[in-house]
Amino acid sequence: MGPRRVFSGIQPTGDFHVGSYVGALRNWVALQDQFDETIYCVVDLHAMTVPYDPADLRARRHESARMLLAVGVDPDRSLLYYQSEVPQHVELAWILGTLAGLGQLERMTQFKEKADRAKQNLGIFAYPVLQAADILVHKAHAVPVGDDQSQHLELTRDLAHRFNSRFGEEFPLPETITPEIGSRIMSLTDPTAKMSKSDPSPRSRILLKDGPDEISKKVKAAVTDTGSDVVYDWEAKPGVSNLLELFSVFTGRPIPELVDEYSVGGYGVFKGAVADAIVEGLAPVREAYDALDDAEVTEVMARGAGTARDRAETSMKTVRERVGIV
């Protein structure tokens, strides 16, 4: 068996929040110790599927790269680059697009949620095909993502399987890696909706760049449920359950132990402790972010793109031969 590879991407569409950190980015860092190769990408082409300002995109992709380095993606161990700088992603997306059924793409929940009629475009529709190409161009075996991406990963496996059956065995079918706790962190203002960077309320999410005061304020104002018991029960107490998941992730302590300790004392004491745990957990990330030098970030990303292009081109040589365009 060859080297075991991980691939994942993140959109530079806004400030990263604890949802994407807990659901995905934390795993990106841990997987550097568990897989032979880890490949991470700032997926700026995906970010163009919603209305945006070019200057804003330019700034955000750089900030995103800087934040990935700050959370612990190590450029000496992981390949890190901007998607747009490796054109083979788009070439493979076209080929996979010819194998993708319209019905299946129309059933994608994220497409249905995001594509309100006024803003619909081909990019949003084809988004999961480009995502499949991102993963398959590196022949990745595993993809660490939050729960919201499992349907797209299913499509990726279908496309890989269809390609292999039609043109010959080329792509591994990648597995999804989601964390047991925190695969779906919910909004602080509406614990029935996932925490998301496109939520109009900034109080709904904790940003990785938030300072201690902002974090405390947001946690203390988080919607909790009626009563005052700290109970882990997603049906009856989604707000408290969401905070318990965050508490567990940031302290490394099991949820039942936290429930035992905070079952008396009310929501005030509980929320104070959750806020402290998040503040403490994010402090090193914020410090690393502030310490990074812009020129260093630019240099890391240029180096990553060069390596990624070479690797993607090696994959595409065989793919082109298989599909008959050489």
Point out which residues bind ligand AQP (CB under 6 A).
10-11, 13, 19-20, 22-24, 145-146, 148-149, 183-185, 194-198
Q: How far is the CB of 266 from ligand AQP (least distance, A)?
A: 27
Closest CB to ligand AQP among 197 and 320? 197
Q: Which of 112, 139, 194, 317 is catalytic?
A: 194
Residue, CB closest to ligand AQP = 23
CB 179, min distance to ligand AQP, A: 8
Cβ proximity to ligand AQP: between 11 and 38 the closer is: 11
Min separation Cβ 130 and ligand AQP, Å: 12
Which residues contact residue 4 at a Cβ distance below 8 angstroms, ignoring those fewer than 6 apart? 35, 36, 37, 141, 142
- Look up 237 and say whether it is catalytic: no
Q: How far apart are CA 264 and CA 253, in angstroms?
A: 18
Instruction: Describe the crossing of helices 255-262 and 266-291 by its angle, rounded to 10 degrees.
Output: 130
Measured from the CB atom, the residue of 23 and 304 that comes closer to ligand AQP is: 23
Q: Is 271 annotated as catalytic? A: no
Nearest distance from residue 315's CB to ligand AQP, in Å? Answer: 23
Residue whose C-alpha is closest to residue 21's, from 207, 194, 189: 207
CB nearer ligand AQP, residue 184 or residue 203: 184
Sheet architecture: strand order including 78-82: 78-82, 37-42, 5-10, 142-144, 175-177
H or E, element range at 140: none
Which residue of the set 112, 119, 139, 197 is catalytic?
197
Give catalytic status of residue 218 as yes or no. Answer: no
Cα(43)–Cα(60) distance, rounded to whole angstroms?
A: 11
Q: Name the β-bridge partners of 116.
A: none
Active site residues: 114, 194, 197
